Amino acid sequence: MIFNNIEEIATFIVKDGKGILAADESNPTCGKRFDSIGVESTEENRRDYREMLFRSKGMKGNIGGVILFDETLRQSSKDGSLLRDLILNQGALPGIKVDKGLQPIDDCPGETVTIGLDGLDERLKEYSSMGAKFTKWRAVINIGNGIPTDKCIDANMQALGEYAKCAQDNGMVPIVEPEVLMDGEHSIEDCFSATDRSLKSLFAHLEKYSVNIKGTLLKPNMVTSGKESTEQAGIEEVAKKTLDCLVKNVPQDLPGITFLSGGQSDILATAHLDAMNKIGGFSWKLSFSYGRALQAAALKAWGGKQENVFISQDELSHRAEMNKLASLGQWNEKLEDV
């Protein structure tokens, strides 16, 4: 696959309903997932698990990009092939998570800023030389008593702007991820407000740093009720409010919006995406960049056992196919039982 510029890369990733497999869990996070199935989180086990995912038949045609953790970008499969080459062979592009996690903000209790700008240019140059075509940086916004504050939002969105410009200067597409967390008892209106403020600040900072929007992808949360809220908004309300917020804030020339699942169940994440695409009326591709919502069933089916590999791959393939249909507005729940 030959690309002339980052705009072509960004367009390719979300072409024809394709989305992104988020396989960039840090080793501690991967450890927690493995704990849930009783598997030790060794480098070899992490490699075997991700190799299994990348070889799944449902990758081809449904997945346009895979976000990797540093360890995975460098790893080889059992037969000696680089894992990033397995991804390319499936018609998808390898990408890399480049932020360095969260740091508390002084005088802002309960709020964090994402760090990792120090040394970023050098890291990006190495990742580009290893074949990474796109990058990801996650900001985290909490909803609670008096938060998010403008200080938190603007600090995170400034970092996203600086990161995005640096990624583009190194010939890679930046995925900008301003995640408003579902954790809490907040209403869908509270989520709308926090998401609206975050997106407004994000695109102001992307403009400030002269980021090429046509060579950028947005990975936002959906506008939902808080997980602990007693009043859970329905699928149609989530779809409508999410679209209202995006139309209000996102430039039309952005090529794609690839949602995070944010702790939603795999079926619900698919249903919300499908509902938005059925409403339509927007210029960007609306797709997915799911981690748990693509992997949960596959991880459970695998259980760390070689004899379960094909069953696990079928689970991932099924979810990838369902989410592609949702990205085209062609999904319905009956297809889950086929």
pLDDT tens-digit series, residues 84-134: 999 999 999 999 999 999 999 999 999 999 999 999 999 999 999 999 999
Pairing of strands 102-104, 112-114: antiparallel
Would you say residue 338 has pLDDT above 90? no
Is-cis flag, bond preceding 148, omega within 30?
yes
CA 6 to chain centre: 18
Q: Could you say which architecture CATH assigns to the domain 6-327?
A: Alpha-Beta Barrel (3.20)
Segment 135-156 mean pLDDT: 98
Segment 240-269 mean pLDDT: 97
Using a pLDDT cut of 90, give the percent of the chain over it. Answer: 99
- The sign of the CA dihedral 63, 65, 69, 71 is positive
Segment 32-41 mean pLDDT: 95
Averaged confidence pLDDT in the chain: 97
pLDDT at 185: 96
Strand ranges inside 237-334, DSSP E: 256-259, 285-290
pLDDT at 337: 85
pLDDT at 118: 98
Q: Which of 296, 313, 308, 288 is nearest to 54 (CA)?
A: 313
Residues 6+ apart with CB under 8 A from 98: 116, 120, 123, 124, 127, 135, 136, 137, 163, 167
Question: What is this structure's pTM?
Answer: 0.97
Active site residues: 177, 219
Per residue in 175-227, pLDDT tens? 999 999 999 999 999 999 999 999 999 999 999 999 999 999 999 999 999 99
* Region of residue 224 (phi > 0: left; psi between -120 and 50: alpha; otherwise: beta): beta
Residue for token pair 């407000």: 193
